Structure formats: C-alpha cells, structure tokens
Structure 1
Amino acid sequence: MDIVPGLTARLSPITDPECFGNDWRQVEAQAGGSVFQSWTWLGCRFDARFHDPLALQIMNGSRCVAIGVLNRERRWTGPSWHLGETGDSAADSVFIEHNGPLVVQNCPQARDAWFAALMHAPLGPGRMIVLSGIGTIDLAAARRHGVVTVSITRVAPRRDLAALRRDGMDCLDPVSANTRQQINRAWRRYAASGPIQVEPATSRDQAHEFMTGLTALHQTTWQGRGRQGAFARHEFRDFHDDLLRRGIESGTTDLLRISAGSRLIGYLYTLIWRGTASAYQSGFVYETEHPHEKPGLVCHVAAMRHYQARGLNNYDFLAGDDRYKTSLAGESTALHWARAAPRFTLAGAILLGRDRLKQWRPR
C-alpha cells in the first residue's frame, strides 16, 4: 500500500516472534522510543500474551522506518485492535505508558504514514483501534487520519537530572520550600538510625529477594486500603518475573533497596532506558518509628540522587498526578488513552457520537 512518496505499508501476521524481535531491534536502534516500546518490554512473554498479533510496518525500500504491534480482541460488535497491548485486562495489567509506533529518528514522516496505514488497513468491518498511553505527537497524527476520542489524559511528571547535574544542583534545590523542609526533616529522622543507603540488586537472586520484599510491602499497603494491589494477578507477577530475568543483567530493570543503617525504608522497581529511570513500582515501610517520617518521598529523593550520580538524564514518575510526584518533578508529559476508527465508517460514527454526547452531557 503506497502511503506517501517513497514509503509503503506492510501488514502481516507475526508467526515467528524471535525473527520479528530481530526486525524490531533494528528499528529500535535507530529510534528514540521509550522503554515500553523496547523489545525488552514488548517481547517479554510475547507468545503467552499476544494470541492474534499483526505487525504494521512502514517501509522505505527495504528499510523499515516505523513499526507497531496490533493484537485483536474479538468482540460481538466487531474486532478491537490494541496497539502494544493484548486487549485482555489481566495480561494488560502490566500497564503500558509512553506507547506508540516505533519511528526511526531520521524519517519523521513515517509516523504520519504509519497512522494513515492504520486507518486504511484491512482489519475487518466495525473495528475499533485502542491506543493506550500514547503521547501528544502520536495523538495528533492519529487525528489527522481518522476519528479519535480520548477517554483519559494523564500527566507523567519527571525531573531533569541532566540539568541538575549541569547546574551543580541537588534534586531538592528546585522544589518548594515546604516540600524541601518536610523531606529534610524526614531524612534526618531516618538518618538517626544510620546512613541512608541505596543498594541496587546486582544479581538475579538478589533481584528476586528485593522483588519479594517489595511485593509484600506493596500488597500490605494496598490491601490495607481495601484495594487488590498490582501483584494480585498472576499475569502481572509472571510478566515481571520474566522481565527481571531479561533486564537485570542488561541494566534495563533496576531494583533498589533503600535503608537507614540496618533499618529498611522501602524498595523501588525502576526501568532504565537510554538515560531515563522510570519509577515503575514501589513498596514502602509505612509503620514508621517517629512522626514526620515519609518513606515514599525519602526513597524517591534517594533514588534521584543515586541516578543523578550515575549520570542518568531523567527521572520519570510515570502517569499520575499524585502529590508526591508533582512536588518532586519539574515538568511533565501528557499521555492519552484513546480509541480510533477510520472516517466514514460505523465505528467512526459511534466514536463521534460518544464524543458529542460527552461534550453535551450536563456537569
């Protein structure tokens, strides 16, 4: 299918994930995507998660310049195709963010070509396309070529560690005086038990030990709030067991244990990709010994200092406008959860109708 001059689209089933993974890595090496667009993440338990996957590629001659995985969710109203997800709520509990097609950096027009191909692809009548956690650039490209409605927009706050390092600043220097005072007070409380230390897991066995501790603390906290907790689903646990095995030695996954002397404060599970540390999951000891101890804030500050010293460029808190994130971050990225369909189709008309109903609904 010709999309723009010099670029063509190729839609094909993924029958050999290992071979497809090699193709993906070739694009990945030339693209600026997130860890959620890496084969380390996408390829984790690929066979177990993706039961009906298609690859949509944009080709410049024999070179692939944009690529994405679509998986079909069968519904009585027609198929839904999910970008980078499966459509199964249990399998997708790992929660993708910073999603989108992977596009090589020296061919930006391939992004528009990919979304144009997506809207014209023979994916079946009545199909909906689910775009979870995509950025604003991808949202705009999708809207240029189809009908798109956004159900949720979340900010992903982050702190620019490279700027702090360049200016000789600590991560607490740019925050508000009130936040800085609270964290410094909490830091001193913990430091009374011994020096605050950040210990990264350096082996698979140690990573398993840290993850076990993180899981126990995380589940205790969320179940105490009447919630299920992220680790309640075996699909979530199985995925991250495999992701740790794939990533701990390559440095893509990082587990930190933060303590004050012999006293545990908490654990952070971080994804490392191209200079960015993404704070993915956590487990904190909320049974504090003294007033004003704030284990979450102290752990994140300790982690930011750790990664700044390691030379990383960004600390991404990922989606959510929780107060601790916005207090420590300096800027943010908007992420969108959207549905799309081709124009002049029944699915497109349904999306337009829903969007207009939402706009006119009394508030």
Structure 2
Amino acid sequence: MKEHNREQFQADTGARRPEVVRDWGRFLEIAEPWERLRRQTHGFTLFQSHLWLRNSWEHCAGDKHQLFVACLWEGADLVAAAPLCITRGAGGSLAPRVLRFIAAEYADFARILLLPEDDAARLWALVEAHSDEWEVADFRYVPGDGLGTRSAKVPAGWRHEQQVMECARWIHFGTRPWRKCVKRTMRHSIERHRRRIEERGPIRFSRATEVREVEEYLEELADLHTRHWAQRGETSLFQFPGYRAWAVETALQFQKSGQLYLCRLLMDERPIAVGWGFLEDEQMLLYSTAYSHEVALHSPGGLLVAAILDDLQERGVATTFSFGRGDEEYKRRWSEEHSPLYRHLLTRRNARGSVHSMLFGKVLPLLWRHPTSGRALRELRRRASLIIGRAR
C-alpha cells in the first residue's frame, strides 16, 4: 500500500495513536498496558498474555520471523492490539510473506485484544495500511468474535475466505458436582476403568507445586509423549530441544504466577498419565497430556481428567474445564458443549494471489483433512526440522 494511504489512515484515527511494534525491546516495554487490556478483553485467554507471547517468541521465532504487533493507544492506555508477526517459509524470495498470530502453532486460541463494546475496524485499517509488507494473512484458531469486528470491510483488491478449522470443547460445572455435568455413559465408563486398574495396583493423583517437581513431571510427560508418538511411527514435539526448553521455561514462568497446573496419575508409584495445563479466570485448560500404553485399555487419560475435575471442585479453583482445541473422539465422549474455531485467509486478487488462495485455501486444508496425508506432512516437517537442528 502506498505511503500516502498510511498518512491518510493516521489522520483518520483521531485521538487514538497507531503503532506497529517491530522492536523486541519495545514489545517488552508495553507488558503492563498489554495485560491491563487483556484483562478487559471479552473471552481473553492466557495465549494472549504477554508472558505466553514473550516466551513463545524468545524460544520459537527464527530469522524468518518479524514482529508486527499492531496497537492503538489513547494516551498511556492500550485500547486495541493484535499480536501478529510476518513469516517467510522455505523458498527464499519466492515464498510468500505471511501475516500470522504470534506462535499460533503453539496456542489453542487466537484473538486480538479489545475493550468491551469497542470495534476493531480501525485496528485492521492500521494492518491494511501496511499490507505492502505481506502477501497472505493466515489467522488460525480464531473464535467467532476473535477478530473483534463485524464492520471492517475486506480491503479492495483482496479476497477473504473463512473456514471452520477446529473445534473447542469444555465442561462447565459451576457449583454443581461435575459428575452431573457429563454423560452418564462417561461416568459409568470411568468408574469401571478405575475398578479394573486398581486391581493391578493402587492409583494416586498428585500436582507439581515445587520447581523440582515441575521439572520431574515435565520429564515424565516428555517420555510418555515420545513413546506414544513413536508407537504410531511419528515424532513427538518433545524430541525437539527448542520445544522442550520452551515447555520448561513456560511452565516455570506460569508456576511463578500461580497459573500452572501440572499433574500426574501414579500406579504403584509409576506415572501412567501426565497432564500439563493452566488456570485462569475460573477456568482450567488442559494443554497437553500423555499416558502409558501399558494400561491403555483402562483409559488412563480419562481417569486423569476425572481426577483433575475432582481436584478442581474440591479446592474450588475453577468452574470450567477446557479441553482446548481439537475434536478428538475422547473429548466428544466427555462433553457436547463446543464451539468452532475459524481460519481467516486473506489473499490478493491477482494472478499470484490466486495461486496463494489455491495453495493456502484449498490444497492445505484438503491435506489436513485426509488422515494419512496430514500425518505424512506433519512427520516430514518434523523429521526435516530434526535433521536440520542436528546438522547445526
């Protein structure tokens, strides 16, 4: 977009001062106003927290990632923000520059930050004013209201595609016993599996509360996770040193803020299931789990979820349990409460943009939907990353 359009945008913002944060030091400076705005944003989650974004960027961003955090200010108050970045894949100058949410691949939900009853049209106008810096906008895992506006028009010369990408499920139990909030068949299944597994040995639930326990539980999670994926002939994310370092650092940081929920289920003092999650705003989100295949027939993952629900209710620390994104069968057995997560794709209305629309909007979703090709793509990407990492 030409420079005079940027100047026109700046003249139209009135009292609101626009800023695109590209410098890492500047992003660190705005932590306090960022968190104030996040706490006022409808549907906010920890994935938009300054802490999550900071840790993810420090551990996961590479040379092909550039900060592009769009902000609107009123005096010293941040009133709208979009935690975005520009990435470029393999292919050098031929690869498109893609505008995304920061660390979208590690987040369950993505959204902008916005004051209640406000509209983000001017924030997206700021992003559009810099559209000469990117060729594709690919916003994934966005709730229905996650982009914060219904009034912003698709910019001239661009096409917009919206796809349902994932599903999010949860159990809201409030003050009621959680067993009255799940399907009867699930309750009976859990009790049956509990009796059968206790025939093999006593089971015990525990939470990590100290630093050494956090490191120990994460090591157990990584081990079970790696074994699980290896049995499927695939590579676990925990085999990547960078991901493992990010997981440990993120867990320790959220432990300091009192939001970490790291737990395990032991049988004869051996871990048979480990869960990593977070607490915020009366909600517990289960981010990652792994279980032992030794007792897989007795649903150790389901027993872990039941133990978590018991603990949350006994201590009164949450009224909602979130499974995060993903619509796996075991989540459907637990809950019928769900909502879609969308993907918003913007490509240019020209020959090159048509290629991008076909690749990003048609080919990739087709491959993702097909189980065999989706797994093959994921595994090819992960093994290539491992080889490159070892070569360095």
User: Do the structures match in fold with TM over 0.5?
Assistant: yes
Structure 1 CA distance for aligned equivalents of residues 76 and 148 of structure 2: 28
3-state SS, counterpart of residue 137 of structure 1: coil
Q: Contact conserved, 2:282 with 2:319, CA < 8 A, in 1?
A: yes
Residue aligning to 1:38: 49
Say if 2:142 and 2:341, in contact at 8 Å, map to a contact too: yes
The change in CA–CA distance for 1:177 and 1:350 in structure 2 (over 3 A counts) is: same
Counterpart for residue 302 of structure 2:
297
Matching residue of 1:56: 70
- How much has 1:6 moved relative to structure 2? 5.0
Kept in 2, the 8 Å contact 1:155–1:332? The answer is yes
- CA 1:224–1:77: 2 relative to 1, 3 Å: closer
Q: Per-residue deviation at 1:351?
A: 6.2
Structure 1 residues 292 and 5: CA distance shift in structure 2, 3 A? same
Q: Which moved more, 1:192-201 or 1:329-338?
A: 192-201
Query: What is the Cα-based RMSD across aligned positions, in Å?
Result: 3.0
Instruction: Calculate the TM-score normalised by the size of structure 2.
Output: 0.77
Match of 1:161 among 173, 196, 205: 173
Q: 1:54: how far off?
A: 2.3
Cα deviation digits, residues 61-119 of structure 1 (max 9, x gap):
4421111222222352542122223xxxxxx65x22211112233x522x33323332x
Aligned in 2, Cα 1:228/1:355: closer, same or farther, shift over 3 Å? closer
Greater RCO (CA < 8 Å, at least 6 residues apart): 1
What are structure 1's unaligned runs of at least 5 residues? 86-91
What residue ranges of structure 2 are gaps of 5+ in the alignment?
1-9, 367-392
Distance 1:10 1:183, change over 3 A: same
Could you tell me whether the CA contact under 8 Å between 2:111 and 2:147 is conserved in 1? no
1:102 and 2:101 correspond:
no
Aligned length: 341
Residues 257 and 34 of structure 1, relative CA distance in 2, 3 Å threshold: same
| Greater shift in the superposed pair: 323-332 or 46-55 | 46-55
Match of 2:328 in 1: 322
**TM-score, normalised to structure 1's length?**
0.82
The 3-state SS of whatever aligns with 1:309 is helix
Aligned to 2:275: 268
| CA displacement, residues 257-294 of structure 1 (integer Å, 9 cap, x when unaligned) | 12356353311011222222111111212212xx9511
Mapping of residues 2-81 of structure 1, within 5 Å: 7-16=16-25, 17-32=27-42, 33-44=44-55, 46-50=57-61, 51-74=65-88, 75-81=93-99
Which of 251, 273, 284 does residue 277 from structure 1 map onto? 284
- From the two aligned structures, give the one with the greater helix fraction: 2
- Alignment partner, residue 121 of structure 1: 129
Distance in 1 between the 2:228 and 2:281 partners?
32
1:204-233: per-residue Cα shift (whole Å, max 9, x none)?
111100111111111111110111122122
Greater Cα shift, 191-200 or 330-339? 191-200
Q: Percent same amino acid at aligned positions?
A: 18
Single out whichever of 2-11 and 256-265 deviates more from structure 2: 2-11
Deviation at 1:253, TM superposition (A): 2.0
How far apart in 2 are the matches of 1:84 and 1:322?
A: 25
Aligned residue type for 2:146: D
Where 2:182 maps in the other structure, the secondary structure is coil
Specify the SS of the correspondent of 1:318.
strand
**Are 2:167 and 1:149 aligned?**
no
